[in-house]
Amino acid sequence: MAQHTASNAPATGRIRQFPLPDVGEGLTEAEILEWKVAVGDTVTVNQILVEIETAKAAVELPSPWAGQVHELLAEPGVTINVGTPIISIDTEPGAGPAADVEEVGSKIGEVAADGRIATLVGYIPAAGSSARRPRKGLPGQPPAPTAAAQLAAGGEPGTAADAVKAGATHGEPGHSLASAGGPTVDTDDGAPRTQAPLAAPPVRKYAKDLGVDLASVSSSRDDGVITRADVAAAADSPAAGDSAPVETVAVQGGGARQGGGERRVPIKGVRKMTAQAMVSSAFTAPHVTEFLTVDVTPMMQLRERLKARRDFAGVKITPLTFAARAVCIAARRTPEVNSVWDEAAGEIVFKDYVHLGIAAATPRGLVVPNIRDADRMSMLELAAALGELTDIARQGKTSPAAMAGGTFTITNVGVFGVDTGTPIINPGESAILALGSIKDLPWVVDGQIAVRKVCQLALSFDHRVIDGQQGSEFLADVGALLADPGMAMVF
């Protein structure tokens, strides 16, 4: 008689599966970054369940229901298609035998079947307990399949062998630790059955790349899950007969480097979207780039005076703030820089507002959030908006909505000590300004050489929309405003 080692606690209540939602930006997939809950946790409506990364931004998904986490159906680091279930929640824990699993989900902004509207920040509040129950099982141990799942696999509820079979048969994201081959266990009919070695998808890929058979790898964990370190140890062991030899390359300092010194990183998320956008822009809009070197000493002097004012206390005034203000003012005289070519309609669309995009480097790649109606803001309001935008971007919390609808972009390459560059226009816009570093350089002032604060500007524009004269006039206006802020009085 086989021993029943699986958990004998039946799933109870109504089990609802929450599929990866469409966040309303036309994206088809997202990567699971981090789970904020674990199996057995009690959750409330709008409690954050998971952080995901789309091709545009990192987004936190709230819970649509109150209840108890029944199963996590996707692992961190895995890319999931929109509509694929990522978590199941028991909405009536302890209410008796489990009902059929129900998959519920809706597109962001649409009305769900229960009458609520899903948004990026949550759902209409509903009652739910905020108590937290102890987590079930050992750390890292996958939850046991439900009794219904085990019966569907052709076994008897409660047996470890059938639990493994059910997990491997269903092929759902939550059962991704199973793999073919491995040790055997006894079954009720006395016949041996293969038990799959347990390993996460990244570990299985790592083993495949090294030519290591997971069935020959011993786990160092109590729950039997094979780790990356276990695979590496098996690859280095002479006993790993099926392991392919790993080439090592000597490096200076006496160390060794595996795999010929190459490291491969999947192209996904923000990096993938950025690449697609830049290629599309570079090969669609005919780019022209012009450069202007400016003496910005008066601007830097005004900056120091503003920092001493009481109304600017606690607000960070940077050269980017002045550049943003100058762009908004100069765009009034050259509205073409704030327009866009509409190929389908055969029109040039002029915008009566400036949604100013600010290119920001984040740990996940380049993002371009924008300041809405920047042209209607004062210098103080622009400085505050830039500070908030930068803080959110650095935290990786910029939402897709914050990056949509920009009309003009500034990229501040000067913060990296770079003098200038030839920026690529952000798709959906017609011009982009690169702000270079500000350096002390010799400059001729009233016929005399003096040390001044000097900065280089670079303007790239779509020559279909903006003629050379218009682009030159706009760049000259921006330069004049930075060289002499008092020029703003005559614009």
Residues noted as catalytic: 463
Structure-block tokens of residue 132: 């937290």
Angle at 98 between CA 94 and CA 101, to 5 degrees: 130
Collapsing DSSP to helix, strand or coil, 323 comes out as: helix
- Is 174 in contact with 71 (CB distance < 8 Å)? yes
- Is 293 in contact with 455 (CB distance < 8 Å)? yes
- Is 341 in contact with 318 (CB distance < 8 Å)? no
- Is 402 in contact with 370 (CB distance < 8 Å)? yes
Backbone angles phi and psi of 61, in degrees to 5: -100, 125
Structure-block tokens of residue 275: 């690449």
Q: How far apart are CA 376 and CA 353, in angstroms?
A: 8
- Is 355 in contact with 372 (CB distance < 8 Å)? yes
Integer angstrom CA distances of residue 139 from 2, 41, 468: 26, 13, 64
Strand partners, 454: 295, 439
- Is 137 in contact with 39 (CB distance < 8 Å)? yes
Q: How far apart are CA 460 and CA 424, in angstroms?
A: 7
- Is 45 in contact with 65 (CB distance < 8 Å)? yes
Pairing, β 448-462 against β 79-81: unpaired
DSSP string for residues in 45-112? TT-EEEEEE-SS-EEEEEPSS-EEEEEE-S-TT-EEETT-EEEEEESSTTSSB----EE----TTSB-
User: Could you give the count of Cα atoms lying within 13 Å of 403 in the half-sphere of its Cβ?
Assistant: 26
Structure-block tokens of residue 404: 């949509």
- Is 122 in contact with 109 (CB distance < 8 Å)? no
Q: How far apart are CA 443 and CA 294, in angstroms?
A: 10
**Measured distance between the N- and C-terminal CA atoms of the chain, rounded to whole angstroms:** 91
Backbone angles phi and psi of 263, in degrees to 5: -135, 125
Q: How far apart are CA 122 and CA 187, in angstroms?
A: 46
Integer angstrom CA distances of residue 442 from 447, 454, 458: 12, 9, 21
Pairing, β 102-103 against β 15-19: parallel
